[in-house]
Amino acid sequence: MSMLLIKCLAIASCALPCLSYNASAQDSFPEISFEGLVDVRAVQGSGQSNWLDRGLGKTRYGTASDGSRSSIQFSEASLIANVRFSWDLTAMAHIKFDPEQKNAVDLVEAYIKYDPVSTSPWRIHAKAGMFFPPISLEHSDVAWTSPYSLTPSAINTWVGEEIKATGLEVTFERRMEDLTLSLTGAAFMLNDPTGTLLAWRGWALHDIKATALGRFALPDINSIKSTGIFNKQAPWIEPHHEIDNRVGYYVAGNWEMKEAFTLSALYYNNRGNPIGFDGNQYSWGTNFFNLGLITLLPGDVELLAQYMKGNTIMGPRINEVYVLDMDFSSYYILLSKMIGEQRLSLRYDNFKTDDLSLIVEDNNNEAGHAWMASLSRSFDGGFRLMMEMQYVDSDRASRLDFNIPTHAKETQLQFSFRYSF
* This prediction's pTM: 0.92
Model confidence band, residue 65 (pLDDT cutoffs 50, 70, 90) = low
Q: For residue 64, what pLDDT is reported?
A: 73
Q: What angle do CA 156, 95, 378 make, to 5 degrees?
A: 65
Q: Quick: pLDDT tens for 17-40.
A: 333 334 444 458 899 999 999 999
Phi, psi for residue 131 in degrees, rounded to 5: -160, 165
Q: Quick: pLDDT tens for 280-298.
A: 999 999 999 999 999 999 9
Model confidence band, residue 9 (pLDDT cutoffs 50, 70, 90) = very low
Which pairs count as long-range contacts for 306-312, CB under 8 Å and 24+ apart, including other chains? 306/135, 306/137, 306/153, 306/155, 306/156, 306/331, 306/332, 307/331, 308/155, 310/268, 310/286, 311/286, 311/287, 312/194, 312/195, 312/198, 312/199, 312/284, 312/285, 312/286, 312/287
Residue range 386-401: average pLDDT? Answer: 97
Q: For residue 358, what pLDDT is reported?
A: 87
| Type of residue numbered 272 | G
**Per DSSP, which regions of 233-284 are E strands?**
236-237, 248-257, 261-269
Is the pLDDT higher at 129 or at 7? 129
Burial label for 178, CB within 10 Å (0-12, 13-18, 19+), is exposed
Q: Quick: pLDDT tens for 321-331.
A: 899 999 999 99
Q: Across-strand partners of 41?
A: 73, 416
